[in-house]
Structure 1
Amino acid sequence: MEIRPIRTEADYKAVLKEVSALVDSDPVSGTPEGDRLDVLATLVQAYEVRHLPISPPDPIEAIKFRMDQSGLTIKDLEPIIGKSNRVYEILNRRRPLTLAMIRRLHQSLGIPAEVLIAETTR
């Protein structure tokens, strides 16, 4: 089993192609193919952490995403943020989140506080 580090984008794409083929064949763990898949998946993960980091989401986009995922409406956010006009101002980026809002959003919706205190991207 010859395995090399992933150093370039071309290496990365080649390994992804091999991982995809291995996943399609669904190898049994402990077999040579299963071991190869485990090792290659670990290499891919290490490469992605180093070269393809995922930046944290924008706070407002995180709130909108949670609303969409949970089927929440503006009315549902009123106990957390304030009257509907305040909720609209927050979601339209006309007013910043306050510390109290951040705490309530974190507690009520489970959005990480680190995401909510980040600068908005727009």
Structure 2
Amino acid sequence: MNAAIDTRHLLPAWEQFRAATDIAPIRSKAHYARMTAMLEQLLDTAQGDERHPAMELADIVGDLIENYETRHHPLPEATGVQALKFLMEQHGLRQSDLTELGSQGVVSEILVGKRELNLRQVRALAERFGVSVATFV
């Protein structure tokens, strides 16, 4: 669709939409709170139906929230070992459960920083937890 957009009609419609919904780039904590509440309402309305019209709006609002969070609450960089410890905790795993890394002694050395994860171990962990290999490097 290469038709030119007639901004004379678009801008008044946008202003009306924005005034009614408050959907715009998030620039304050109060606006962030309103947008997260709206996102929850949209998701409740869609009830998991990806084809529901509310899901398109939820995608837009979600992107605005993600942009705000990235700018104002960046996640700290985690090391591969920190990621592994987090995933172990989330999955209720002990050192002895990670047989793909080697013996419990090897796992212990990795977790305390005495030994680096090798490529085979990184690939095995990525597959086990369903994450990118970049998580552990």
Amino acid at match of 1:76: D
Higher Cα radius of gyration: 2
Q: Contact 1:12–1:44 at 8 Å: present in 2 too?
A: no
Q: Does 1:13 align with 2:29?
A: yes
Q: Equivalent residue for 2:96? A: 75
Q: Contact 1:63–1:111 at 8 Å: present in 2 too?
A: no
Mind listing any 5+ residue stretches in structure 2 that lack a counterpart? Answer: 1-17, 46-53
SS at match of 1:94: coil
Length-normalised TM-score, structure 1: 0.62
CA positional deviation for 1:90: 0.2
CA positional deviation for 1:58: 2.1
Give the percent of matched residue pairs that are identical in Structure 1 and Structure 2: 30
Amino acid at match of 2:113: R
Which contiguous aligned blocks of 4+ residues in structure 1 show a shift greater than 6 angstroms?
Answer: none
Q: Equivalent residue for 2:83? A: 62
Q: 1:12 to 1:44 in 2, by over 3 A?
A: farther
CA positional deviation for 1:20: 5.5
Amino acid at match of 1:58: T
Q: Equivalent residue for 1:105? A: 125
Distance 1:53 1:67 in 2: 23
What is the count of residue pairs matched by the alignment?
105
Distance 2:39 2:123 in 1: 42
CA positional deviation for 1:43: 3.2
Q: CA RMSD in A?
A: 3.1
Amino acid at match of 2:93: L
CA positional deviation for 1:59: 1.0
Q: Equivalent residue for 1:120? A: none
